[in-house]
Amino acid sequence: MMVRDDARGFASHPGEEVHVTAESCLFCRIAAGEIPANVVRSEEDVVAFRDINPQAPLHVLVIPRRHIPSVPALEAADGALVGRLFLVARDIAREEGVEEAGYRLVVNVGPAAGQSVPHLHLHVLGGRELDWPPG
Ligand code: 5GP
Ligand code: ZN
């Protein structure tokens, strides 16, 4: 499989370079069906599945199929794909019945925000009151 230049993870220490290839990436493997997940939406470019450790009654992750490590790796040409992530998140919130009450979309970017999987993902959280500010 082709690994793009941006197919790297983020380093946990400055100067450390961590390479995460599409072959080794957990979310790439879920998107490819190699690791089981509770998939709620599967499209050509986007997949959505339930979080294994839900933080709210509704907790779905929306990801691009293509390995993009995080927001800093996005390019201008990815604009439509990012838009699609939001539209799929909107549809899931609607289908799961939380649109009227409200819900939260979260993207953790890098170590300080607690990003633990270096493959871009949009959290869809709902079904309970969500505190602000977040931790
Ligand atoms: P992050 O902390 O990077 O923003 O979010 C990663 C999320 O992926 C976490 O909420 C975590 O529970 C979820 N996660 C980690 N491993 C798996 C897995 O193997 N399957 C699923 N469905 N979710 C996972
Ligand atoms: Zn990946």
CA distance 92 to 125: 10
64-67-71 Cα angle (round to 5): 75
Interstrand relation of 103-106 and 58-64 (parallel, antiparallel or unpaired): unpaired
CA of 62 to the centre of ligand 1 (A): 11
Pocket test for ligand 1, best of 53, 60, 70 (most atoms within 8 A of CB): 53
Closest-approaching ligand to the CA atom of 25: 2
Q: What pTM, to 2 d.p., does this model score?
A: 0.90
116 lines ligand 1 (CB under 6 A): yes
Compute, in degrees rounded to 10, the torsion defined by CA atoms 82, 87, 88, 92: 140
Domains of the chain by range and CATH?
26-126 (3.30.428.10)
Contacts of range 75-80, beta carbons closer than 8 Å, 24 or more positions apart: 75/6
Among residues 43, 16, 42, 2, the alpha carbon closest in space to that of 111 is found at: 16
Q: What is the pLDDT of residues 34-48, one digit of tens each?
A: 999 999 999 999 999
**Residues labelled catalytic:** 121
Q: Give me the percent of the chain exceeding a pLDDT of 70.
A: 87
